[in-house]
Amino acid sequence: MGSQLALIVASIHIGLLVIFFSNLLYLRRRPRPQPEKPHPFVSIIIPARNEEDNLQRLLPSILSQNYETFEVIVYDDDSTDGTWNVLSSYKDARVHIFKGNGPPDGWVGKVHALYQATKHASGTHYLFLDADTELADADALSRLVAQYQQLPANSVMTSLPRYKGNGLLVVSLLPNAIMAGIPWYLVRPFPASSLGALNGQCWMIDADKYKTHEPHKAVANEILEDVLIGRYLKKLGITPTLVDLRRELSVYMYSSFPDAWRGFRKNAFLLSGGHVLSFLFIVFFFSIVYIFPPVIALWLLPFVFLNKWVTDRHSMFPFWLTLCAPLSFILGLTLQLDSAWHHLSGRVSWKGRSIR
């Protein structure tokens, strides 16, 4: 029985590695296009709640771009820190700031902030960025837009950025999940909406498509709005397409390990389906694949390291992080259990707000 289970676990790891490497080929399937001029008018839309530190990194990186036509729309979602003071200090005519009083009933704060910001957007293209992102250099926006322009018609662009900052023991599990959770090469040819998803940290869509379908309004009360927007748009024939933006965009998700833990706590249970049965299945699968292999058979341990090595190298994480792969996966399992406990007991909060 033990040898049969070991073979099953090994087969699962091999299947995951096939998905990983196929997704890497998918990301490299086309050469990076050269930016063309004239540039389309891009509205860069940023939600901000208690983001005074992150905005002082992001906004200068945007305003220094060698890009002819863009505007920046930042919606302050009732921040309790110095976010509004930071925004008010920018006198650049390209920066438009708005302040809200928090979301109304039936809306999640970030979703409401983004939806309200779009009402003030004038661009032909909308680029949604989280406040903890940063453009890599002065030509990053040009390259990012060029990537979008060369996608097939009826596409919405989502991204795999470069992850920096702290809490990497758990943050590094995010690109691992993005690369393992969806076989991206199947998203376009297969109609199933479950294959659709967005990374809400950075995505781009034509303004007319956004105005026609108003995806944020369609998922107004959803914490995992990016995943559900991807599925919503895919149902409408607008295909999520993953693009490698490691050279264009960095994400500083958390300033510390405790912040990373609290941040992922609000999402982990929902990513497992948000229901007890689906959560138990995911926990069982995760444990068998990532936690118990060395207990089942010691020769399975290299699969655990190889699984993490693939995405760690692509994400340009330090090598010590790969050596800590078992610890990362143990923390990932503990985080899922902690997230389920907080959600089921109604104790999840983020940035001073209770989350259902």
Same-domain check for residues 218 and 119: yes
Same-domain check for residues 79 and 9: no
Indicate whether 356 pLDDT > 70: no
Residue 304 lies in a domain: yes
Provide φ and ψ at 109, rounded to 5°. Answer: -55, -50
CA separation for the pair 59, 131 (Å, rounded): 9
CA separation for the pair 126, 105 (Å, rounded): 26
Mean pLDDT of 147-162: 93
Same-domain check for residues 276 and 337: yes
The structure tokens 């979008």 sit at 148
Query: Hey, what are 156's tokens?
Result: 């919405």
Same-domain check for residues 208 and 350: no
pLDDT digits (tens, 9 = 90+) for 77-96: 999 999 999 999 998 999 99
DSSP letters of 90-143? ---TTEEEEEE--PPTT--HHHHHHHHHHTT---SEEEEE-TTEEE-STTHHHH
Among 252, 267, 283, residue at a domain's last position: 252
Residue 33 lies in a domain: no
Same-domain check for residues 11 and 58: no
Same-domain check for residues 234 and 292: no
Higher pLDDT, 61 or 296: 61
pLDDT digits (tens, 9 = 90+) for 295-340: 888 889 999 999 999 999 999 999 999 999 999 999 999 999 999 9
Determine the structural domain holding residue 345 and report its residue range: 2-22+257-355
Same-domain check for residues 7 and 139: no
Among 237, 252, 267, residue at a domain's last position: 252
Same-domain check for residues 207 and 297: no
Residue 190 lies in a domain: no
Query: Hey, what are 353's tokens?
Result: 């707000």
Indicate the DSSP class of residue 28.
T
Q: Please classify residue 350 by burial: count the beta carbons closer than 10 Å to its beta carbon, then call 0-12 exposed, 13-18 middle and 19+ buried.
A: middle
At CB < 8 A and 24+ separation, what contacts does 295-298 make? 296/2, 296/5, 296/6, 296/9, 297/2, 297/3, 297/6, 297/9
Could you give the number of structural domains in the chain? 2
pLDDT digits (tens, 9 = 90+) for 231-241: 999 999 999 99
If we measure between CA atoms, which residue out of 134, 124, 132, 131 comes closest to residue 69? 124
Among 213, 231, 252, residue at a domain's last position: 252
Which pLDDT score is estimated for 146? 92
Q: What is the CATH number of the domain that holds 134?
A: 3.90.550.10
pLDDT band with cut points at 50, 70 and 90 for residue 181: confident
pLDDT band with cut points at 50, 70 and 90 for residue 194: confident
Same-domain check for residues 231 and 83: yes
If we measure between CA atoms, which residue out of 49, 83, 61 comes closest to residue 164? 61
Same-domain check for residues 239 and 300: no
pLDDT digits (tens, 9 = 90+) for 262-281: 989 988 888 888 889 999 99
Residue 15 lies in a domain: yes
Indicate whether 35 pLDDT > 90: no
Q: Return the number of other C-beta atoms located less than 10 Å from residue 254's C-beta.
A: 20
Same-domain check for residues 143 and 268: no
Indicate whether 31 pLDDT > 90: no
Residue 327 falls in which region: left (phi positive, over 0), alpha (psi -120 to 50) or beta: alpha
- List Cα–Cα distances, 81 to 116, 125, 352, in angstroms: 21, 31, 11
pLDDT band with cut points at 50, 70 and 90 for residue 346: confident
Rg (CA), the chain: 20
Same-domain check for residues 157 and 122: yes
Which pLDDT score is estimated for 340? 93
